[in-house]
Amino acid sequence: MDSIIKIFTVKSKLHEYPVIIGNNILKLILDDDAFKSSDKCALFVNKTIYNLYKELLESTFCSYKKCEIFIVKDGESVKQFKNSEKYLSKLLKSGYTRNSLIVAIGGGVTGDFAGFVASVYMRGIKLIQVPTTLLSMVDSSIGGKVAVNLSSGKNMIGVFYPPVKVITDLNFLQTLNESELRNGISESLKHAFIGERDLYELLEKGTFEDYKKSEFLKKVVPLAAGFKIDVVSKDESEKGLRAILNYGHTAGHAIESYKNYKGISHGEAVAIGMKIVSEISNKLGFISNDELNSILKLIAKYGLIYSNINFNSDKIIEHMKYDKKNKNDQINFVLLKHLFNPEINCLVDNKVLKEVLENNK
Ligand SMILES: NC(=O)c1ccc[n+]([C@@H]2O[C@H](COP(=O)([O-])OP(=O)(O)OC[C@H]3O[C@@H](n4cnc5c(N)ncnc54)[C@H](O)[C@@H]3O)[C@@H](O)[C@H]2O)c1
Ligand SMILES: [Zn+2]
């Protein structure tokens, strides 16, 4: 069935843009002014998505001579800085101009990469995001951050570059595997813990299996995406409020980098990170035992911590210190001062931090 479920507006310094959430709405791109007025349209399509949705993509776009599909491989290595030069050269060779459009169709990797290419090609050409993973629908497609990686650090080269539109077609989620689904659930739980009460209630009632049902997705994706839209509309450039979205990420990123990004997913690392900061918040008397237990119950219910993480606490603390979001050589945590009430820039005594880390390895 074709339907629009919800239209949000994201405020941004450069321009406002809509996030349209619905079912079977990919074709809305064809009505967009940016599409109609473009001389050429490059569809940056993730390879897995191309293989799964070839017919849909071809029937939607191939009658338009100005459209061309650029396949983007799977995996984080796509975001290597040097790979962007390859695609920029292809655009130039194929005659793309300042009036051309890039449409990114895929998960966060495709969105970040195609977004970065759009942001620098001829000083920036129009971009439409079509997120196809749960994580990209509730997180990476919103807020205009685009980036590529250096071998020495993830997302080290990037800009704030808002798209002209985000088209979130829930139909894509039907083919997403469980581990990718968990990555998106982890970010959704984060939004619930740090302020989205209705989402929290929905997730308390729901189960992992519900995430495979269209009726549940129709409710959960607008709530989880809507929360981020609200936050980035108030603080696009992360001067303050937006930093609450790093909840669970200081420890999560440290665990991922300690593990060399192997054997642990981003969602699982963030879930452990959220467990760690929630336990710290509890130890410091900011959240009650009941609040802590209900947070831990939800993380467990959605099966977000599933491997045995054997880490060395001192090394994790070292990795935390390298986080690019730290200031003045201190580790900044987002803690909860009660459920739904996050506080940024919290410093934590080393002894408390180490105790909690030791209990989580
Ligand atoms: N820009 C931001 O604000 C922001 C925020 C969070 C994360 N990110 C970035 O997002 C990236 C992670 O995004 P992700 O989790 O979407 O990963 P991803 O883009 O690698 O996608 C995960 C996997 O799912 C597959 N896939 C995508 N859609 C599918 C579908 N509908 N059906 C079946 N398979 C599908 C992909 O081929 C891939 O193998 C990271 O690079 C991260 O740095 C950016
Ligand atoms: Zn994350």
Q: Does the active-site annotation cover 266?
A: yes
- The pLDDT of residue 103 is 99
Atom of ligand 1 nearest to the CA of 109: 19
Ligand 1 first shell, C-beta below 6 A: 46, 48-49, 52, 74, 76, 79, 106-110, 112, 132-133, 135-136, 139-140, 143, 145, 155, 172, 175-176, 180, 183
Query: Can you tell me the distance from the alpha carbon of 98 to that of 12, in angstroms, rounded to the nearest whole number?
Result: 21
The predicted-structure confidence for 232-246, as pLDDT tens digits, reads as follows: 999 999 999 999 999
Distance 194 CA to ligand 2 centre (A): 14
Low pLDDT (below 70) residues in the chain: 1, 327-329
The span from the CA of 23 to the CA of 167, in Å, is 10
Question: What pLDDT, on the 0 to 100 scale, is given for residue 152?
Answer: 86
Look up 197 and say whether it is catalytic.
no
Neighbours of 6 (CB within 10 A): 15
Dist. CA 96–CA 251, nearest whole Å: 42
Report the nearest atom of ligand 1 relative to the CA of 184: 15
DSSP one-letter string for 229-256: HHHHHH-TT-SSGGGGGGTTHHHHHHHH
Hey, which of 71, 84, 112 would you mutate to test ligand 1's pocket, going by the most ligand atoms within 8 Å of its Cβ? 112
Name the closest ligand to CA 147: 1
Closest residue by Cα to atom 44, ligand 1, is 140
Structural Rg of the chain based on CA atoms = 20
**pLDDT value of residue 1:** 61
Reply yes or no on whether 15 is catalytic: no
Q: Which of 242, 268, 319, 332 does the annotation list as catalytic?
A: 242
Whether 145 is catalytic is yes
